[in-house]
Amino acid sequence: MERREFVKLCMTAATAVAAAPRVLAETGGSLHTHERAQLTDRQGRPLTAHALRRQETYVFNYPYASTPCFLLRLKEPAPDGLELKPKEGSPYTWPGGVGRDHSVVAFSAICPHQLSFPSAVRSVIDYRRDKSQAAGRAGVIVCCAHGSVYDPTHGARVLGGPAPQPLTTIALEHDPRTDHLYAVGTMGIEVFDQFFSAYRKELNQYYGRGAYREPVSGKAPVETMDRYTRNRIHC
């Protein structure tokens, strides 16, 4: 089954309970529906999966104006069908990578341990294509705030550190005809409400009062991590 079809199947199932999205989250439903947004470059032109550089860290904001996500084209395909089990909440099945080689994945860049995230000033959480001293390996997402390590090839499951759950998956849809990418929802446990509560003052100052909670729809511009933040802290 094409992954685009898989996502559509999930969307169809989710539509029946779309009026109560929290029910999906509380019962561990596979897909939490959000506005559909096409991934674009900084000029608003559609992004293609094959144009992504392998193991480069890209960032876009989704499903809200202030919530950053990692977009990665991994060195190898990311297998589907993996069941992930958070310490709290229901297990869910991760759909794997998308794109023609099934290597494109996306995750929320907000660490679920203590909500560290990439900002324009600095980032303590990042994907490491080279070996991380803290993780002892390459090809992982590392949060240097407290040493949480995530495996992006397997649904951002926790490999080490205090994180209680995987990074929230950003569900992607891939159009095999055009190679375009769309964000369509999330999977796993969301921490956006906690993030908004923890950083309300800073987010209001940066985005404008209340604008930080505006849903992303239509287009979601993508940029490299080097452009997104001025200081990438690695460990």
The angle at the Cα of 135, spanning 134 to 137, to the nearest 5 degrees, equals: 125
Question: Edge-to-edge strand order for the sheet containing 140-143?
Answer: 125-128, 140-143, 148-151, 157-160
pLDDT (0 to 100) of residue 24: 43
- The answer to whether 39 and 211 have CB atoms below 8 angstroms apart is no
**Which tens digits make up the pLDDT trace of 114-134?**
999 999 999 999 999 999 999
pLDDT (0 to 100) of residue 90: 82
Task: Name the pLDDT band for 36 (thresholds 50, 70, 90).
Answer: very high
pLDDT (0 to 100) of residue 86: 82
Distance CA 32, CA 184 (A): 9
Using the predicted structure, report yes or no on whether residue 174 has a pLDDT greater than 60: yes
The average pLDDT across 27-43 equals 85
pLDDT (0 to 100) of residue 29: 53
pLDDT (0 to 100) of residue 157: 96
Using the predicted structure, report yes or no on whether residue 235 has a pLDDT greater than 70: yes
Which percentage of the chain shows pLDDT scores above 90? 83
- Give the β-pairing of 169-175 and 180-187: antiparallel
pLDDT (0 to 100) of residue 204: 96
**Which tens digits make up the pLDDT trace of 202-218?**
999 999 999 999 999 99
pTM as predicted = 0.87
pLDDT (0 to 100) of residue 89: 79
Using the predicted structure, report yes or no on whether residue 7 has a pLDDT greater than 70: no
